[in-house]
Structure 1
Amino acid sequence: MNELDTGLAADAADARMVARMRLVLSVSALLAVFVDPSGLRGIGGFTWLLFFGYILHSLAVYVATQLGAPFSQSKLIHWLDVCWYGLIVLFTDGIHSFFFLFFFFAILTSSFRWGFNEGARVTLASVGLFAACGLGSTTEQDLPRLLLRATFLLAFGYMSIHWGGSKVELKRRLALLRDVSRVSNPRFGVDHTVTSILEKTQVFFQGSCCLLIVRDKESGAYFLRTIREGDAKHSVNAEWIDAEAATPLVALPQNRIVVHNSAIWPKLSPFAGAAVYESTEGRWNKHEEAACESLAELLDARSFISAPVSLRRSEGRIYVFSRQAGFRKADALFLSHIAAQAFPVIENIELLDRMASDAASQERQKIALDIHDTAIQPYIGLKMGLSALRNKAAADNPLIEDLDKLADMAAKVIGDLRRYAGTVKNGLGKTEQVLLMVLRQQAAQARDFYGIDISVCVQGELNVSDRLTAEILQIVREGLSNICKHTFAHHGAVKLECADGLLRIQIENECDGTQSVEFQPRSITERATALGGNAQVTRKTSGGTSVHVEIPI
């Protein structure tokens, strides 16, 4: 959020600077005409009104930028500038007016703030308006002037939008490199970090698919990760594939960066094909065209870029495919920079994750033993004591039913504790079925011990790591504990959903007939905050309470 606020502040500062320069430009134009009106032909009452109108427009935009209005960040402003400049040129001697230079202001502001495409549209519109201003009154002697000024506007406009587009593109690339090199939340694990990098890479290049295939150097096994455009239900875990299926993806040499563009028409085939950058030679060559063409046909892609990925224990390649847009050599080189920047960080995360897992495994062994000695054994003693009391009681004793119920409850607690100790000792499974099984066990325990019916609902696929699964169980366990201990409700619900890049957990209970008290669950809030999310409590119209937890994934 701090980085986002910094970016917005920089854009606002640019908008204020441009607004000040626009105001200065409008005032200077009026002063120039006022000081030397004879320098221009056709100066009349409407022309003066036009200059005053542009000053008022510039002043209004300046005030809007000072107040932080959303309009000040709109693309409409530079298009309004183009319209004003077209009118000023038209009513100040047409193609003979030196105010045609004002078009450069709109070209510069659009290209340096919005990039090449927007700047190109503004440039073409400016040239078209300037030419239209002289079509009705241009004589044969004025055609060279029209052609020269239009060419001058187009040439220098192109240079401006090229440099402006390069600046915007550089900012986007720096932002992506910053994002992919950032250490992910360790609770999410390495798989989530790799998936996040592939997602950001696919979005940056606007590709239809992003692939990462790696081969383990020790076992020789191949693992594939796939991110497709518009697919919100991709798995965060790598998939094993056999060597035959992986052969087309690893056929390219490891030291080569590749860009391939298929020809749209056969006549344009000399301008398409594959270009390979040899990292050892430092130059581009024409190699591997047959392998690239077959790979593009196999994956139904018109173009793709690829770069090698080298890690300590594995190696492979990263691909970005596209069915429409063509890629440039600069895109392929930047993809190699992404791989060189991000994957060494992932390797460090994996090393730290392995060290943490080993330490956690040892700690789990110790906790399992502690649970057996300090929790299970006392319950076993309690059950034996209850059994002894039951044997001493006479057949007509009114407490026999209660003693049997307490003995059964103690037996269930012993079973739950033993299962929990086994889970702690062996680690939590990574499948969604394990999560559902544990949630249903918690719901059954709440029903047996407290008489509260808890429904469990999981919408869609969760696709979360084992560490995040453990955090989910802790949050739900705490929420159910709050319902059981602090309310008189007889019904509740737990809902989980992964959508729009968020994991949503909703724990709710019905109205219990008591006066509701404002509260914020401290443990749940702290866990959600540690995962980068948030938790909030809402009151339903029926009087019940609902705890909403959102965690970005």
Structure 2
Amino acid sequence: MDKVWERLQPGRREQVRQPQEAREAMEQHVAISGVPSGTTPGPEPAVDAGVASYTSPEIRRVLANMRVLVALFAAVEVSSLSSSLSATGRVGAMAYAVLGYAAYAGWLCWIEFRGDRLLWPRLTAWVDVAWILVFAWLAAMHSSLLMLLFFPVLFAAVSFGFLSGLLVSLIAAALTAAQVMVRVQDGVAALPEAMLPPVLILVFGPVVAALACVGMRINEQMTIAERLLALLDPRLGVARMADTLLRTLAPRFAADRGWLLIWLPGSEARLFRVGADGACAELHGELRATLIDALGRLPATVAAAHQRTARPRRWCFAAHVGLELARRRASGAARVPMQQLAELLEARSLLALPICRRSPHPNWLVLDSRRRRYRSRDLELLSAVMDPLGPLIENAGLLECLADEAMATERARIGRDLHDTAIQPYLGLKYGIEALARKAAPDNPLRADILTLQEVTVGELHSLRELVSGMRSGTSAADNALAPALQRQASRFTELFGLDVVVRCDAGLSIGRRLAAAIFPIVGEALTNIRRHTGATAAQIIVHDHPQTCELQIRNAHDPAAAPAAFMPRSIAERVHALHGSVRVELQQAGFTDLIISIPKGPAARASAP
């Protein structure tokens, strides 16, 4: 335990001084924020890769306000050029043009203030270009008004990416050059001087678009990182952090599926998956082992994006992009393992990023999208977002390890106390009943009852010894402890109460001792309810072992002609919900009542188990 404590990063040790109080405080905070306790915030809505920035209300409001500033600048230019415009008789037309653009900018501000969406948002930048060219034409191609064309380039790049900004700059430069040539042919302007504005727009327009995209990328990185830092808390455990990470990052990067491999020193590898519906679950079994093996073949220092087309093409761009994270340069070291991973997952566009690279086994974040083609900028953005979050994942695993060791130590102490306080009285009771059985003659009518009581006492003593032995060992590894315990419980109900109980368990049932100890009293209470509240003389206990849950089905017969009313055993439901499970009652038409209980095998259930 001391070694685990020493590995905790500075500034995080105080989080484990009072884990129970901290967990309760966090649950209160989440509940106040509008999210039910014990759950994680829902996934963000999916974002189209082409309009990621446009979906931000803050960005749209800023751009609408900037259009108002453009209208004000045009009005100031009109007032300064009033003398020259009056000579050509264009003062009125220029004033109407400025007022029209101001009304257009005000309408956009009103739309954004109300939170409405435009029908064709990509047209706004082209409308800006048209208005500014009208200003310049009416002002006899005044250079200061032509410089306003940089604003539509900025608007398009911020809203829809670099390519949109580049297209606007090229077309704006071409239209400006066409206006200049018309003016030159009319003899109004001289060619070398008049061509300066379109050349400036052609040269510096792409620069403005590139700088705008860089700024938006930094802003997006800060936004994602701030949101994740606000949601993530190592005290809530690895599973909760993985759930939050996947459900937040997958919509942000238009991913249909996502996987997060967390493999910390001194613990087993854990693999989490999120689907297109936003549901996150921990993987088990053969699929987990196959994916971990495939991820283990990836280079630990290279992030990669791989494109897998449905059919081979003769002419295509490079289908693989690799980025060496330490030196920030291109690398092809992950080409072959990424291709194998993409074929295994049947992924169209796959992104893999190593995180927590200081560990012996790097953790991996993998995203798959059929709507977005991942590129090097996605690798850089995701790497910058995940770098400060890696220590949080490590601390969550170390805190869980520390909590497990503390629980094992406490269980061992309780086991020693139980051995001294509970088993010794049971031994005295057992010896007393054995002495009474020896005194009872074979023809004594109570001898059969005494022998039955002796068998029950021996069975209970055996169960108690098994429980204490498991607690004293401090382990909670999965074994077959549940099936024998249920068999003994069924035999006891049959002998004492005449209720014929049949137990059926899946082959290879493997349930941890702590979870088995939590399930055992639930089954006992269900059998007691059948004995007390029904006329059934038989019951069945069916245990199904699923990869992520343990499902119990407790069945008893009822009269098909007089089926009982719908009900829910409150005490059992409270026990199951404390284990983060679910319970339901099904009244079958064939004359059976099924109590179906599903309990997860994850850390939440184990932490809640006694």
TM (normalized to structure 1)?
Answer: 0.58
Distance 1:138 1:506 in 2: 79
- Whether the 8 Å contact between 1:19 and 1:58 is mirrored in structure 2 is yes
Which one-letter code corresponds to 1:361 in the other structure?
A: A
- Whether the 8 Å contact between 1:259 and 1:276 is mirrored in structure 2 is yes
Number of the residue aligned with 2:219:
167
Number of the residue aligned with 1:15:
57
1:82 and 2:122 correspond: yes
1:387 and 2:434 correspond: no
Match of 2:417 among 366, 369, 388: 366
What is the aligned-residue RMSD (CA, Å)? 6.5
Distance 2:493 2:467 in 1: 16
Number of the residue aligned with 2:607:
none
From the superposition, tell whether residues 164 and 332 of structure 1 become closer, same or farther in structure 2 (CA, over 3 Å): closer
1:419 and 2:466 correspond: yes
- Whether the 8 Å contact between 2:505 and 2:544 is mirrored in structure 1 is yes
From the superposition, tell whether residues 482 and 165 of structure 1 become closer, same or farther in structure 2 (CA, over 3 Å): same
Distance 1:359 1:552 in 2: 18
Which one-letter code corresponds to 2:207 in the other structure?
A: A
1:483-502 counterparts in 2 under 5 A? 483-487=526-530, 488-489=533-534, 490=536, 491=539
From the superposition, tell whether residues 427 and 196 of structure 1 become closer, same or farther in structure 2 (CA, over 3 Å): farther
CA shift at 1:61, angstroms? Answer: 5.1
- Whether the 8 Å contact between 1:461 and 1:498 is mirrored in structure 2 is no
1:476 and 2:519 correspond: yes
Q: Which deviations, in whole Å up to 9, do the C-alpha atoms of 1:308-361 show, x marking residues without a partner?
A: 7557xxx56556689995665786687665555543664465355434423432
- Whether the 8 Å contact between 1:520 and 1:536 is mirrored in structure 2 is no
Distance 1:345 1:57 in 2: 46
Distance 1:285 1:120 in 2: 22
1:247-258 counterparts in 2 under 5 A? none
Distance 2:229 2:582 in 1: 33
Distance 1:61 1:428 in 2: 59
Distance 1:251 1:517 in 2: 53
1:440-459 counterparts in 2 under 5 A? 451=499, 453=501
From the superposition, tell whether residues 202 and 107 of structure 1 become closer, same or farther in structure 2 (CA, over 3 Å): closer
Match of 1:156 among 208, 215, 230: 208
From the superposition, tell whether residues 18 and 199 of structure 1 become closer, same or farther in structure 2 (CA, over 3 Å): closer
Which one-letter code corresponds to 2:430 in the other structure?
A: I
- Whether the 8 Å contact between 1:79 and 1:122 is mirrored in structure 2 is no
CA shift at 1:372, angstroms? Answer: 1.0
- Whether the 8 Å contact between 1:202 and 1:210 is mirrored in structure 2 is no
Distance 1:262 1:520 in 2: 52
Bigger RCO (CA 8 Å, 6+ sep): 2
CA shift at 1:166, angstroms? Answer: 1.2
Which one-letter code corresponds to 2:419 in the other structure?
A: A
Q: Which deviations, in whole Å up to 9, do the C-alpha atoms of 1:139-179 show, x marking residues without a partner?
A: 74489566755765543233222212212113334555677
From the superposition, tell whether residues 209 and 347 of structure 1 become closer, same or farther in structure 2 (CA, over 3 Å): same
Distance 1:16 1:214 in 2: 39
From the superposition, tell whether residues 495 and 304 of structure 1 become closer, same or farther in structure 2 (CA, over 3 Å): same
Distance 2:351 2:57 in 1: 37
Count of equivalent residues: 480
CA shift at 1:406, angstroms? Answer: 4.4
Number of the residue aligned with 2:477:
430
- Stretches of structure 1 that go unaligned for 5 or more consecutive residues are 66-71, 111-117, 217-221, 278-282
CA shift at 1:103, angstroms? Answer: 4.0
1:225-304 counterparts in 2 under 5 A? 234-235=283-284, 275=324, 277=326
Deviates more, 1:436-445 or 1:22-31: 22-31
- Whether the 8 Å contact between 1:507 and 1:546 is mirrored in structure 2 is yes
- Whether the 8 Å contact between 1:307 and 1:318 is mirrored in structure 2 is yes
Deviates more, 1:475-484 or 1:378-387: 378-387
Distance 2:210 2:432 in 1: 85
Percent identical residues: 10
CA shift at 1:235, angstroms? Answer: 4.7
CA shift at 1:478, angstroms? Answer: 3.7
- Whether the 8 Å contact between 1:20 and 1:62 is mirrored in structure 2 is no
Which one-letter code corresponds to 2:413 in the other structure?
A: Q
3-state SS of paired residue (2:234): coil
3-state SS of paired residue (1:183): helix
1:203-214 counterparts in 2 under 5 A? none
Distance 2:121 2:216 in 1: 18
Number of the residue aligned with 1:354:
405
CA shift at 1:524, angstroms? Answer: 1.6
CA shift at 1:380, angstroms? Answer: 1.4
From the superposition, tell whether residues 227 and 101 of structure 1 become closer, same or farther in structure 2 (CA, over 3 Å): same
- Whether the 8 Å contact between 1:479 and 1:524 is mirrored in structure 2 is yes
- Whether the 8 Å contact between 1:460 and 1:498 is mirrored in structure 2 is no
1:59-98 counterparts in 2 under 5 A? 59=110, 62-63=113-114, 65=115, 77=117, 80-84=120-124, 86-87=126-127, 90=130, 96=136
Distance 2:395 2:156 in 1: 41
CA shift at 1:367, angstroms? Answer: 2.0
- Whether the 8 Å contact between 1:386 and 1:407 is mirrored in structure 2 is no
Distance 1:261 1:537 in 2: 43
Q: Which deviations, in whole Å up to 9, do the C-alpha atoms of 1:170-197 show, x marking residues without a partner?
A: 3334555677761344xx8xxx699889
Which one-letter code corresponds to 1:157 in the other structure?
A: A
From the superposition, tell whether residues 482 and 31 of structure 1 become closer, same or farther in structure 2 (CA, over 3 Å): farther
- Whether the 8 Å contact between 2:169 and 2:202 is mirrored in structure 1 is yes
From the superposition, tell whether residues 536 and 303 of structure 1 become closer, same or farther in structure 2 (CA, over 3 Å): closer
TM (normalized to structure 2)?
Answer: 0.53
From the superposition, tell whether residues 362 and 411 of structure 1 become closer, same or farther in structure 2 (CA, over 3 Å): closer
Q: Which deviations, in whole Å up to 9, do the C-alpha atoms of 1:204-255 show, x marking residues without a partner?
A: 9989887777888xxxxx9877778989664599x99xxxx9xx97999xxx
Distance 2:432 2:207 in 1: 91
- Whether the 8 Å contact between 1:250 and 1:317 is mirrored in structure 2 is no
- Whether the 8 Å contact between 2:153 and 2:166 is mirrored in structure 1 is no
CA shift at 1:419, angstroms? Answer: 3.2
Q: Which deviations, in whole Å up to 9, do the C-alpha atoms of 1:450-484 show, x marking residues without a partner?
A: 5274766779999x8x5xx61x3344234323323
From the superposition, tell whether residues 348 and 404 of structure 1 become closer, same or farther in structure 2 (CA, over 3 Å): closer
